[in-house]
Amino acid sequence: MKVLVLGATGQAGSALMQTAPAGVEVQGAGRAECDLTDEVALEAFIAAQQPDLIINAAAYTAVDAAESDADTCYAINRDAVGSLAHAMNRSGGRLVHLSTDYVFDGQSSRPYLPDDHRHALGVYGKSKAAGEDALGADDLLIRTSWVYSAGHSNFVTTMLRLMRERDEVRVVADQIGAPTWAMSLANTIWKLVEAGASGTFHHCDAGVASWYDFAVAIQEEARAMGLLETSVPIIPIRTSDYPTPAPRPAFALLDCAKTRALLGDGHTHWRTNLWHMLRAEKYRG
């Protein structure tokens, strides 16, 4: 099977390239090779590659910038997805598309199920929901949340930098979700592909956290591992204390029971995977 991974230089894309199963011919493409904002060039690129499966890990993810750059955001998160879905439908191939907890409004009192009603709050979430709607019936949609990985810009690496540079850090404590290690996400994606899954599935690491909880764990694990020389106070704040152009869902927990039931595998806690990521970050040097 020939698989094309779009967004191959990003967090999820890089992890997918590293974890491709034996017997899969995988090719990665980043922005330089494949411009998702150019529909003609995109379709020509797909036609030239002739993949059996595309995993679309590319996205416009600048949540706050999207509020003032909606055209580009929709071009990548909605229009390009439609082009990919149509191209694969014509060739008889399949599309696997990654989406986000931001398609929900965060008002739920329980983890979001794959078929729950979506109500995005900002441009980014609305564009991702529109991209979901562009998929075909046989395509595979996987939503995830709070993704991080070694060697990339994300909450973990930002916290490590701030904890080295500042006397204290302030972190939002009233937004709840589940951190997800990109390698964990990639392994689940490949398993769903192997199982021939279609429709909507969720994947995040097990457990629950606020961004504040996550930051505390990052400092504790990084100190124990020698990534940080000293500890700094971590101050919990409210979302209203840190206004941003785009609203964030207050509750972003995804129900992954459908995924785990299909795959019949375990569900690793986010703190365990945080340790693995920090170990990888340490050995990067």
Q: What is the mean pLDDT of residues 208-226?
A: 98
pTM: 0.95
Does the pLDDT of residue 193 top 80, yes or no?
Answer: yes
Q: CA distances (Å), 284 to each of 6, 109, 277, in order? A: 24, 40, 11
What residues have CB less than 8 Å from 46, skipping those under 6 apart? Answer: 4, 54, 84, 87, 88, 91
Structure-derived torsion over alpha carbons of residues 257, 260, 265, 269, reported in degrees to the nearest 10: -50
List the single range of 25-34, 219-228, 230-239 with lowest mean pLDDT. 25-34
How far is residue 60's CA from residue 75's CA, in Å, rounded to a whole number?
9
The length of the chain is 285
Kindly tell me the sign of the dihedral angle through the C-alpha atoms of 194, 199, 205, 211: positive
Closest CA to 112 of 259, 268, 251: 251
Span 165-183, mean pLDDT?
97
What are the catalytic residues? 124
pLDDT digits (tens, 9 = 90+) for 94-135: 999 999 999 999 999 999 999 999 999 999 999 999 999 999
**How does pLDDT run across 33-66, given as a tens digit for each residue?**
888 998 888 888 998 999 999 999 999 999 999 9
pLDDT at 281 over 90: yes
Count of CB atoms within 10 A of residue 241's CB? 12
- Tell me the β-bridge partners of 180: 147
Whether residue 268 contacts residue 188, with contact meaning beta carbons closer than 8 Å, is answered with: no
- How remote is the C-alpha of 180 from its chain's centroid? 8
pLDDT at residue 20 is higher than 90: yes
Q: Identity (one letter) of the amino acid at 133?
A: D
CATH class, domain 2-154+178-207+251-268, is alpha beta
pLDDT at 285: 66
